């Protein structure tokens, strides 16, 4: 058994993992943002309260990226760890081995091992929510790539400037990564809202757009059509490159099975490998996939 954590800017979620299928959550606590000692102590207390071995491995899923060359983490929403050699610093502070992985990678790992990707050799887990992200799992192991950025298909200036039928011009929106024209500013939930405003001059939340679309609203249908056209091209190209045979989708937008099915149809029409089987599918693990992924990562680590 190991202690595992899913850490974001607002809360630390902990669990004790006995097996990939038996991960038992513990009470969550607020994330200490500005005090590294308090951050480390919170992890130690949660693990101890759960009955974990005080010298045993802990495994962490976090909304940040660890550079595999330098060991330093980029995690702007938790200032006390941003720029640190997090694995080394936590291991020294807690006197126990530590594993850390990006939350999208942990999502992909959880789907590969106990979710929609079971029995698939190459799994590309996709996030469509507050951001556009992803993770690659090959033969049951996370593929981080140089710098830890493998799978981040939402970034890079590749977003379409014409989309839909009939085509309409799409602005090249600025992205939080510093580039212009990425998929993230149009493919995330806020991006869907930007598209709706651009197309119709009306501000609606992504939830409201989805409700209107499901009710047969013509304006919402146009927004979804343009959205799918924009997102499916870069996703199809990424699938061609990584060779995934299954693409589980998580995040808030993936709560719409109909949207994922529409995306799957568009992607399968654009990839080189032709298949009549669903490829882009809703994630099976709807509750705490990051925590489950951290548990799987840790259990693999002690083996």
Query: Is CATH 3.30.420.40 what the domain over 116-282 is classified as, yes or no?
Result: yes
The pTM of this model reads 0.93
pLDDT by 10s per residue, the chain, length 303: 899 999 999 999 999 999 999 999 999 999 999 999 999 999 999 999 999 999 999 999 998 899 988 999 999 899 999 999 999 999 999 999 999 999 999 999 999 999 999 999 999 999 999 999 999 999 999 999 888 889 999 999 999 999 999 999 999 999 998 999 999 999 999 999 999 999 999 999 999 999 999 999 999 999 999 999 999 999 999 999 999 999 999 999 999 999 999 999 999 999 999 999 999 999 999 889 999 999 999 999 876
Radius of gyration (C-alpha) of the chain in whole angstroms = 20
Domain with CATH 3.30.420.40 in the chain: 2-102+287-302, 116-282
Question: Helix 218-242 vs helix 189-200: angle between axes, to the nearest 10 degrees?
Answer: 130
Q: How far is CA 204 from CA 33, 209, 213, 223, in A?
A: 32, 6, 12, 11
Enter the tokens of residue 94.
């807690």
Burial category of 61 from C-beta neighbours within 10 Å (exposed 0-12, middle 13-18, buried 19 and up): buried
CATH architecture of 2-102+287-302: 2-Layer Sandwich (3.30)
Q: Do the Cβ atoms of 154 and 132 come closer than 8 Å? A: yes
Q: Do the Cβ atoms of 163 and 198 come closer than 8 Å? A: no
Residue written as token pair 């024209």 = 181
CA torsion sign for 269, 143, 66, 63 is positive
């Amino acid at each position: 058994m190991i202690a595992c954590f899913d850490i974001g800017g607002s809360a630390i979620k902990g669990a004790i993992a006995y097996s990939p299928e038996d991960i038992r959550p513990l009470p969550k606590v607020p994330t200490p943002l500005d005090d590294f000692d308090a951050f480390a102590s919170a992890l130690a207390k949660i693990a101890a309260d759960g009955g974990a071995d005080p010298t045993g491995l802990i495994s962490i899923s976090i909304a940040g990226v660890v550079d595999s060359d330098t060991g330093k983490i980029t995690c702007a929403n938790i200032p006390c760890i941003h720029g640190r050699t997090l694995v080394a610093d936590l291991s020294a502070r807690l006197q126990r081995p530590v594993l850390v992985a990006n939350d999208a990678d942990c999502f992909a790992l959880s789907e590969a091992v106990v979710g929609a990707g079971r029995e698939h050799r190459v799994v590309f887990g996709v996030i469509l929510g507050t951001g556009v992200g992803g993770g690659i799992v090959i033969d049951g192991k996370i593929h981080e790539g140089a710098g830890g950025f493998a799978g981040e298909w939402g970034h890079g200036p590749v977003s379409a400037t014409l989309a839909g039928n009939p085509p309409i011009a799409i602005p090249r929106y600025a992205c939080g990564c510093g580039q212009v024209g990425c998929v993230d500013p149009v493919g995330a939930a806020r991006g869907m809202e930007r598209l709706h405003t651009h197309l119709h001059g009306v501000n609606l939340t992504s939830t409201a757009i989805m409700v209107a679309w499901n009710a047969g609203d013509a304006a919402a249908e146009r927004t979804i059509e343009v959205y799918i056209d924009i997102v499916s091209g870069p996703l199809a190209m990424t699938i061609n490159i990584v060779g995934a045979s299954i693409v589980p989708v998580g995040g808030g937008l993936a709560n719409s099975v109909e949207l994922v099915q529409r995306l799957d149809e568009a992607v399968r029409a654009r990839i080189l490998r032709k298949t009549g089987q669903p490829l882009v599918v809703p994630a099976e693990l709807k509750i705490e996939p990051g925590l489950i992924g951290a548990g799987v990562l840790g259990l693999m680590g002690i083996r």
